[in-house]
Chain A
Amino acid sequence: MTPKTEQELAEVIAGSNGPLRIVGGGTRPIGQSDGDALGTSQMRGITLHEPGALTLVAKAGTPVAEIEAALAKENQRLAFEPMDHRALLGTTGEPTIGGVVAANVSGPRRIAVGACRDFMLGVRFVDGSGNVIKNGGRVMKNVTGYDLVKLMTGSYGTLGVLTEVSLKVLPGVAQETTLALDGLDDATAVAAMSAALSSPYEVTGVAHDPVAGKTLFRLEGFADSVAYRAAELTRLLAKFGQLVELDRPRQWQAVRDVVAFAGQPGDVWRLSVKPSDAAALVAKMDAKAVLYDWGGGLVWALTDGGDLRARLGDFQGHATLIRGTGDFPVFQPEHAPLAAISAGLRAKFDPRNILNRGLMQ
């Protein structure tokens, strides 16, 4: 089923006994849920782009590529740099903005400017009873009522099916420069990344690839400003080694999409952690390979299978199984009081439990 309008979608949901499996572009099959596929791809199109107000509104099934192209024409972009999961997950199809929002997908620039959820201004969605609901709007400052925009972002279609989203966009940049340190061990690399992030030089990407032995720092902005900050950062990080400018186009796309793990056998985990805990956690993982992003706050791990969480024990943060299967939950189990609240919210928004049943539990 691929309804063409929000109203049609509402009728489909209201008239269905479920379960329904919500599909955007089908490029991010994270976790499992049963049921008939309910697709959003026919609800597409940019409904508003006001470059001077830094806002864009699009129907949920709009391809991300279409949005990025429209923004590029005005020298603007989705600053949270949404990851493209296709290479890593071996999927085909066209990533949609609804899918990005439903999974709160962000990339390396998240550490500097915020996640998808931080750029979300408004949503329209159909809940599990077929009610059409709106929240937020298309203006940048809005505290009118509860922020269901945040609640919907990252809810993986378990509270409702998104039909339209509005986003804050940002200007593109004149220049991007990547500097690298060589041969640091993980803990030292995290310390170097923390030093960069704790400086006033506004690095917009900080990643560490232990396999390649490179720790990467990205600067963006007007050319003179980038040159100035590159020099200052080089001075600041001198105790960690000599920063060298890298000339690798698509370097950050490779980090964003974790292309190093694409086509490699094994499970892929994504962990959000306290950066200074990262190296010690990685040491417990028994992973085949890891990639650190967000200054160590985001760790990608490629493993031979098994329950990674069991190896880590209790830690601050959460781990999601992005690729692979096993006898353990895909999403990080919540502590009992939070699990009860989340279950309560699902029961309110989808009382018949028909939308992506069981996906986040």
Chain B
Amino acid sequence: MIPRLGASKTRTLTYLTLIAVVFFSALPLYYSVVVASRDNSALADVPPPLFPGGNFFTNVENVFTTVPFALALLNSILVAGSIAISVMFFSTLAGFAFAKLRFRGRNALLLITVATMMVPTQLGIIPLYLIMVKLEWTGSMYALIVPALVNAFGVFFMTQYLSRALPTELLEAGRVDGCTTWGLFWHVVLPVARPAAAVLGMLTFMSAWNDYFWPLVVLTPENPTVQVALSSLAAGYVSDYALSLTGTTLGTLPLVIVFALLGKQIIGGIMQGAVKG
């Protein structure tokens, strides 16, 4: 692929560019750890501190006393966890129907599903809020969980995967053995779907964990998710960057660790989802 002349030069240039990209991708995260482990006054130093200090655990303590951070962590785990499990289940179910079952209106419904991925979410915020007022769910985690129980991306993702990975013969064999459709789903589809569903679950968990605007609109600062708590930390202590960056480090670290461990699978999932059929 690379021209023979000057191939090694091109190669070095490629590596240098990519290393620069890695540097700029990681730098802001690294620097937030640096700031998080310092006293706020250290930030006024010239030159600015470039290595972590020893103040991290004091800052952590302050985060937990300034905002209800323990409650926020619990809420976020509850919200992101239940959304992830539900999205995995219902997306696999709908994906199975779209990929392998015959029914009237299938193509039209699938087209609608793809089209809904394009609907701007910000538009519905006001009526969605009015609905939550009617249901008396404002301030509660129901307002976050229920609308997110299943989404178009998940359905599309599982449809794509199952139409490729699930052999039709396997389903026919199951039918001959007298399986009901539900039996097929349980005994044949679920085992095949597991790897893709796991990736989908991870992606869903991450985006639910990071969701900010809708939780900000519908929750109160007294009963927040992690992101809402982080933003009130940043808003209340404008000048205390050490404190707010300690918060962001605590809120980001769990995801970064999971991502570092399972990054390969997650990236594979994103790239598979990207190549549309």
Q: Do A and B bind each other?
A: no
Using a CB–CB cutoff of 8 Å, the interface residues on chain B facing chain A are none
Using a CB–CB cutoff of 8 Å, the interface residues on chain A facing chain B are none
